[in-house]
Structure 1
């Protein structure tokens, strides 16, 4: 079986965020880091080369495969800040409807600019997502 590349590392989150080339994206990433740290109560940890994760849980797939994964996380990508949240959790559709400008993918929420979303709604999304991730171990 292949080794998972996305695993916790000892790399510095602060150094990673400081190296984000776009100033606005860097500011958004710092704000998301602070939000996720405050909501989860967990320190930020680099997962692989480009994801900042908070907390840890054991995922179990229906196939029997298991892996360690973060509760919630994000990555400041070139086109948008990608937030990694559980694919489904209570109230997610309603919260997303109130969030503001965003797009979604499987287990991902894409925000081009933090100023385009309601930060209080984003905070609630992260809170509920982290609680759901802590409560369950099934893979999305």
Structure 2
């Protein structure tokens, strides 16, 4: 069985931002996202793999038998755009995207260019909603 590449590491999230992010606005937005996600999740920033900054964790196991750990919420300050891992599309929360702002979305994440493109109140709701869903449906590190 394949092993997960995205696991929690001992790298420092702040050091990662200083060394990886070469745009001042993206650096400022990265530090602001850390501040906000720490507040909303109650967890310190941890590096997951080489470039994802995550908060808290949960354990998942698929019907196939594949299992692992993942952050409750996370982001990555990628070169082209921020990748936000904060949202699960469910019928009861799809409306959150209506007033979110300027973004692109795929099955796994939401892409934004900068924080000023989105509504931070909606981002908070997405984060808190995702955390509540994961706490209800998975074994969370927050319960340890």
TM-score by length of 1: 0.91
User: Structure 2, unaligned stretches of length 5 or more?
Assistant: 140-144
Q: Deviations over 1:86-119 (max 9, x none)?
A: 5334643111111100111112011111101111
RMSD: 1.6
The residue that corresponds to 2:99 in the other structure is 98
- Deviation above 6 Å: which 4+ runs of structure 1? none
113-122 or 89-98: which moved more? Answer: 89-98
User: Structure 1, unaligned stretches of length 5 or more?
Assistant: none
The residue that corresponds to 1:80 in the other structure is 81
Number of aligned residue pairs: give it: 138
What displacement does 1:62 show?
A: 1.9
Give the alignment of 1:63-74 within 5 angstroms. Answer: 63-74=64-75
* Whole-angstrom distance in 1 between the partners of 2:110 and 2:92: 15
TM-score by length of 2: 0.89
The residue that corresponds to 2:16 in the other structure is 16
* Whole-angstrom distance in 2 between the partners of 1:106 and 1:29: 22
The residue that corresponds to 2:116 in the other structure is 115
Q: Deviations over 1:23-79 (max 9, x none)?
A: 111111111111110000011100010000111111111212111111110000111
